[in-house]
Chain A
Amino acid sequence: MKLSLRIWRQPNADAKGKMVSYELDEVSEDASFLETLDVLNEHLISEGEDPVAFDHDCREGICGSCSLVIDGQPHGPQKATTTCQLHMRKFRDGDTIDVEPWRAGAFPVIKDLVVDRGAFDRIIQAGGYISAPTGTAPDAHAVPIPKQDADAAFSAAACIGCGACVAACPNGSGMLFMAAKVAHLALTPQGQPERQTRVLGMVAAHDQAGFGGCTNTGECSAACPKEIGLDVIGQLNRDFRKAAVRAA
């Protein structure tokens, strides 16, 4: 395949960036999108140019490192698929493809396509855990958990923290990410004692990190490679209201 890639190049956080066009011949349709960027980078290095910086690691859709907006869509056109699992057979010979970093106030660009997602860690630090110091646990069978609750908790916990939800949201909100963790822990008996302080703490950290508010557009869930549902946001709102009233 022959492709034109228009890629966001920005040397560092303070520099002004721009889209730069690159032509690639002989792209294999069996290559992944990131492997196509590898091929481009090999060309660039051979010509003495700076290769395109992008985040990636496991390349099997689970670590949440990769993070590109491809033709306007976080992780590209294929549903429920991270960029690293997107393959070139989803494009056509002769296509021009735009590649940009996550665009969100809370995710500043570091270089080219690499952004700083440290705000997600700060949200977790504000309560996205169960306080269970090592060695204090009762037997794992001490508290049975209904299968449907365990399955629902798992579905929420499947979030990979990639940030596609934020990139897709017109408000740059981190609501889906935060709500997935709130819902996961709220659905387990172990998560109950800290349920209210957790949601209050996490929402405060979310707002402080510069994420926008949620207006229920649903773009986040549509872009989520793990198909986290909007119902987790409903859960978060219910928990937040309850906790806020109690705290008032």
Chain B
Amino acid sequence: MSTDFYREGEPAQDTKAPAGPISERWEQRRFSGRLVNPANRRKLRVIVVGTGLAGASAAATLGELGYRVANYCFQDSARRAHSIAAQGGINAAKNYRNDGDSVHRLFYDTVKGGDFRSRESNVHRLAEVSTEIIDQCVAQGVPFAREYGGLLDNRSFGGAQVSRTFYARGQTGQQLLLGAYQALQRQVAAGTVDLHTRHEMLELVIVDGKARGIIVRDLVTGEISTELADAVVLATGGYGNVYFLSTNAMGCNVTASWRAHRKGAYFANPCYTQIHPTCIPQSGDHQSKLTLMSESLRNDGRVWVPKARGDDRHPADIPEDERDYYLERRYPAFGNLVPRDIASRAAKIVCDEGHGVGPGGLGVYLDFAGAIGRLGKKAVEAKYGNLFDMYERITGENPYERPMRIYPAVHYTMGGLWVDYDLSSNIKGLFVTGEANFSDHGANRLGASALMQGLSDGYFVLPNTISDYLADGPFESVDEDHEAVVAARKEVDDRIAFFLGNDGDRTVDSFHRELGKIMWEYCGMERTDEGLRKAVGLIRDLKDEFYKRVKVTGKAEALNQELEKAGRVADFFELGELMCIDALHRTESCGGHFRAESQTEDGEAKRDDEHFSYVAAWEFGGDEPILHKEALEFEYVHPTQRSYK
């Protein structure tokens, strides 16, 4: 075995993206892809797992097209998928402001923001489709913010120089998801979509090299059943919960993706995680999740820490000249508005140096005193009132009188299952959309781009590309006695039997917390060769201990939330290990992945385009995963080192 825990295989290649001028590729692909006759669509079954923006939009649209869709979610209603929690907004190159925006500019900004680690073809398509998303959502009745003239309002978000972000107060994700959810419910009523809530996918069924179904557990009765189809779409979200504490919902997990990975689907760039700078810090060991405060707060708040280490005076008692406004000091041009990865790491640095505030010294101040003095309390309340209320509910502190305390937290995962231009994984018939795939954000996602990608994939891209695959169907029928189905069910049954039969003495959560600490410490905001090697060892040891000592109460044939968690945490162990190996092999810094060994003299991230301008697509290989490199080529946006000084 190599000393780096992996071996290298053949290169990976996206064979579906057309060549030719970038602005014509999507149109060309839609034309070259084969279609399915409307009469034949009703003979084709498609499974969609997940009901977030990417899943609900895909299931609804495929239903409208006439396919027979089976849609699954683990929540008690499709409306509760975690897309609902996105606050800020959704980008679109509408250029309604006449401020110089265009499809090409959104494309350019996204490739650059992703630190030149995404595919140009995919990102350009995303930028093209962005305008249609807004039209679609308005037609569904999504109540976007509007101006007095009745037209849509826009704002500048995440340091963009144009105003292209559409929003619905601080609940954009909720309103977009409800639009997709309602479109989905319309199809349920029409009989084109069979929706199964409180069901969790636990295994993928592959027959003759094609994805043909899934094994699911009914979370209420515990019944294990099989759903067979001509194609499977995973829209199962990100894996930030591997860190235990994150802004993800408690149920977010990697199990569907990981089961597919174990069956041969490549997992790409797992180490690319986004750590959001403005979250409410942890208050104690009971903490179960972290809450994001919208990035928009940085437009008016000033970030600072006391100059003296361990200064525990009330912030109001710390005079101006004893405060370090470190973002303004280090990045005079962008100041408090530097991109997420930079703001996060700067906070970590000052806290590591002992300047942090609040419990454990893991916090920095976000101060609105200046804004309140300049604009008045009323204006600040009109802009941020709901966020200030939320902060007060959680911390018991009044941010009008005392600066907020914030600290970075894991928020989004850019990595995910590898897909080609058609959003197909390397397993035939297995498609992956939204945060669950790796495709469009490179090494760092820009604000207000996640909602755009989820809906782009689900409403517009997948329904067009999947037909090229389904044109070969319906495929040979498979029944539940097929050996592949029986084997997949047995894997599920065995795993459940193991957990319930294990004579253990530690709770699932206690393992999950410990895994999360390892990941945060060694595979968080700053990564090193030494730390990552150590982490792989620690995770392997903890995983062994998990299988020896985990205790799961209750039974299989009933609602059993401990059993659900055990299966998810088991998969997080394997994912966590792969994330560390990926982070270890990528010795450059890029976007959200910062390797301490690769930085400029000023301490900024330093890319290594000569050696790392590729997508790392990992094939499952137990203790020794296999790396397939997909080379990235930049014809339109030429790689430069980012600078926000």
Question: Which residues of chain A have a CB within 8 Å of any CB of chain B?
Answer: 11-12, 28-32, 34-36, 38-39, 42, 44-46, 48-51, 53, 55-65, 78, 81, 85-87, 89, 110-111, 114, 116-118, 120-121, 124-126, 128-141, 144-147, 150-151, 153-154, 157-158, 160-161, 184-185, 188, 190-191
* Docked-complex contact B139 and A141, CB < 8 angstroms: no
Is B362's beta carbon under 8 Å from chain A? no
Residue of B82, B139, B182 with highest tally of chain A CB at under 10 A: B139
Q: What distance in Å separates the Cβ of A153 from its nearest Cβ neighbour in chain B?
A: 4
* Docked-complex contact B509 and A58, CB < 8 angstroms: no
Q: What distance in Å separates the Cβ of A146 from its nearest Cβ neighbour in chain B?
A: 5
Known: A51-B554, A56-B250. 15 other contacts (CB 8 A): A28-B284, A30-B284, A35-B287, A35-B288, A48-B553, A61-B390, A64-B79, A124-B185, A131-B186, A145-B146, A147-B147, A150-B143, A161-B80, A185-B141, A190-B138
| Chain B residues positioned under 8 Å from A131 (CB to CB) | 186
- Alpha-carbon gap, A184 to B57, bound state (A): 20
Is B183's beta carbon under 8 Å from chain A? yes
- Shortest 9 CB-CB contacts between residues of A and residues of B: A144-B150, A129-B182, A137-B139, A132-B139, A137-B135, A154-B143, A30-B283, A125-B189, A140-B138
* Docked-complex contact B82 and A114, CB < 8 angstroms: no
| Chain A residues positioned under 8 Å from B291 (CB to CB) | 59-60
B:33-79 near A, CB below 8 Å: 57, 60-61, 64, 75-79
Is B393's beta carbon under 8 Å from chain A? yes
Which single residue of chain B is at the shortest CB-CB distance from A36? Answer: B286
Q: What distance in Å separates the Cβ of B561 from its nearest Cβ neighbour in chain A?
A: 6
| Chain B residues positioned under 8 Å from A34 (CB to CB) | 288
* Docked-complex contact B76 and A130, CB < 8 angstroms: no
- Alpha-carbon gap, A185 to B554, bound state (A): 44
Of the candidates A39, A121, A126, A188, the one whose C-beta lies within 8 Å of that of B78 is: A121
Is B463's beta carbon under 8 Å from chain A? yes
| Chain B residues positioned under 8 Å from A145 (CB to CB) | 146, 150
Contact residues of A: prevailing secondary structure: loop
* Docked-complex contact B139 and A138, CB < 8 angstroms: yes
Q: How many residues on B have C-beta within 8 angstroms of the other chain's C-beta atoms?
A: 81
Of the candidates A124, A136, A151, A160, the one whose C-beta lies within 8 Å of that of B139 is: A136
Is B507's beta carbon under 8 Å from chain A? yes
Of the candidates B94, B175, B181, B283, the one whose C-beta lies within 8 Å of that of A28 is: B283
Question: Which residues of chain B have a CB within 8 Å of any CB of chain A?
Answer: 57, 60-61, 64, 75-80, 82, 84-85, 94, 96, 132, 134-141, 143-152, 168-169, 171, 174-175, 178, 181-183, 185-186, 188-189, 195, 197, 220, 247, 249-251, 283-284, 286-289, 291-292, 390, 393-396, 459-460, 463, 505, 507, 509-510, 551, 553-554, 558-559, 561-562
| Chain A residues positioned under 8 Å from B145 (CB to CB) | 150, 154
Given contacts A121-B78, A125-B186, whether A138 and B135 have CB atoms under 8 Å apart is: yes
* Docked-complex contact A184 and B394, CB < 8 angstroms: no
- Alpha-carbon gap, A136 to B139, bound state (A): 8
13 A-B residue pairs with Cβ-Cβ distance under 8 Å, sorted by A, are A53-B559, A60-B247, A63-B75, A63-B82, A64-B80, A87-B396, A117-B77, A125-B185, A128-B182, A147-B148, A150-B143, A150-B146, A154-B168
Of the candidates B140, B147, B393, the one whose C-beta lies within 8 Å of that of A81 is: B393
Residue of B186, B286, B509 with highest tally of chain A CB at under 10 A: B286
